[in-house]
Amino acid sequence: MPGQLVATLIDSTEALPPPHAETVGAAVTTCIAIADGMLDGRNVTSVLRDLSVAAAQWARAGTPLDAVLREVHEGVRLVVGLTFAHTPSRDRETLIDGFRVAMTIADLLCATVTQSYSAAPCDASTSSQDSIRRR
């Protein structure tokens, strides 16, 4: 499943100059693995640690934080959507539970990436602000 989701996301994303395009692919792959693992109840501590290290590298490379966070959210949306698409119940409680799960996953991933960007030994906020100004 992660391979198909990554291909879909990379095809649908705004093109970033190299090496940032590879970074987006790596972010998507890692976040999908974490989200999928959390939904299956697996321990994702080591993958979260890998995400944190990778995010610090992306920050140092100047990859815009907003681009990475957009892909984190899109990956979570796809994984949760696929998971709950096969849920026969569409009642209010099931939908609310699904939303809570999605928010928990998104919060954990975004906090991990953002904390790594903040701690990186470069001005990651400038990279993100430059990206926003170019739009």
* pLDDT tens by residue, 54-107: 889 888 888 888 888 888 888 788 877 877 777 777 788 888 888 888 899 999
Burial of 73 (0-12, 13-18, 19+ CB in 10 A): middle
State how far the Cα of 88 lies from the Cα of 86, in Å rounded to an integer: 6
Between 69 and 27, the more confident residue is 69
Question: Any idea how long the chain is?
Answer: 135
Range of the domain at 42: 2-134
Q: Is the pLDDT of residue 131 over 70?
A: no
Domain count, the chain: 1
Alpha-helical runs (H) found in the chain? 2-12, 20-39, 45-61, 65-85, 92-119, 124-134
Place of tokens 């990279």: 127
Residue 123 pLDDT exceeds 90: no
Residue 99: CB atoms within 10 A of its CB come to 12
Tell if the pTM clears 0.75, that is, is over it. Answer: no
Q: What is the pLDDT of residue 99?
A: 85
